[in-house]
């Protein structure tokens, strides 16, 4: 059974929505993913329906030898961002939004 104890979700139109998944798996959380939380407010503010942002279970990036070092991970569409920061995530979104337009 999977339960998230705080879920902040914004859904946009399915078609050209860029999906952002912030990892809340144990490794990413311990390595600081809660400090990415302002993205849950920033992204909808900035991009409205164009980008959706959700909390995610372990993205599977941390399980290999020593890959915990590069947590927290965030997935923007099909790109994995390691040692994610608010700035890095926003830069990746920006790149994609510009490409879409």
Partner 1 sequence: MNNNSQSIHIKRDILIRLVKAFDSDNFEKNVAKIPFDMRPKGADVPYRCCIYKEREIIKDRIIADLGFALEPLDESERLDEMAADSLQRKTIEENPLTVIDAACKGCVPSRVYVTDLCQGCVARACEKACKFGAITIAGGKSHIDPSKCKNCGMCINACPYNAIVRLIVPCEQACPIGAISKGENGTATIDFEKCISCGKCVAACPFGAVNEKSHIIDVLKAIKDGKKVVAMFAPAIAGQFPGSIFQLKSAMKKAGFFDVLEVAQGADITTKKESAEFVERIEHGATFMTTSCCAGYNNFIAKHLPEIKPFVSDTKTPMYYTAEIVKQKYPDAISVFISPCVAKRKEVQANENVDYVLNADELGAIFVGRKIEILEMEDTQYDYDSSKQARNFGVTGGVAAAVNSLLDDEEKANAYVIDGLTKDSIKQLKKYAKDGCCADGNLVEVMCCEGGCIGGNSNIASPKIAKKIINSLLEKSNDLK
- Cβ-proximal residues to 83 (8 Å cutoff; 6+ apart), any chain: 70, 71, 72
How far apart CA 54 and CA 64 sit, in angstroms, is 24
- Among 18, 20, 27, 92, indicate the residue that binds partner 1 (CB under 8 A): 27
Residue 68 interacts, among partner 1, ligand FES, none and using kind-specific CB cut-offs from 5 to 8 Å, with partner 1
H or E element, residue 92: helix 86-100
Residue 18 interacts, among partner 1, ligand FES, none and using kind-specific CB cut-offs from 5 to 8 Å, with none
Residues at the site binding partner 1, with contacts judged by CB under 8 A: 1-6, 24-27, 29-32, 34-35, 37, 57-58, 62-63, 66, 68-69, 83
């Amino acid at each position: 059974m999977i339960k998230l104890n705080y879920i902040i979700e914004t859904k946009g139109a399915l078609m050209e929505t860029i999906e952002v998944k912030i990892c809340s798996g144990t490794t990413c959380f311990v390595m600081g993913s809660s400090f990415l939380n302002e993205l849950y407010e920033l992204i909808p503010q900035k991009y409205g329906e164009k980008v959706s942002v959700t909390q995610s279970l372990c993205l599977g990036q941390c399980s290999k030898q020593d890959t915990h070092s590069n947590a927290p991970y965030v997935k923007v569409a099909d790109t994995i961002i390691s040692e994610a920061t608010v700035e890095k995530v926003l830069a990746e979104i920006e790149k994609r939004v510009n490409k879409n337009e």
